[in-house]
Amino acid sequence: MPTVKEADCVACGACVDACPSNAITVGDIAVINAAACTDCGACIDECPAGALE
């Protein structure tokens, strides 16, 4: 499952739009719901800040 590097996340929402399983929400930072995440990696590729790994 991808992890969020909190210091790098700018809460832009690009990962939310990229996630096919709706497993990500954004407040101050992106939060990934482990139960819903399918580990596809789409969010990692779309993050402009490089905050997902």
- Residue 32: which domain range? 1-53
Domain count, the chain: 1
11-20 in b/e form (b: 16+ CB < 10 A) is eeebbbebbe
Separation CA 1–CA 28 (nearest Å): 20
pLDDT tens track for 11-45: 999 999 999 999 999 999 999 999 999 999 999 99
User: pLDDT-derived band of residue 51, with 50, 70 and 90 as boundaries?
Assistant: very high
Q: What is the pLDDT of residue 31?
A: 98
Which CATH number belongs to the domain containing residue 41 in this structure?
A: 3.30.70.20
CA Rg value for the chain = 9
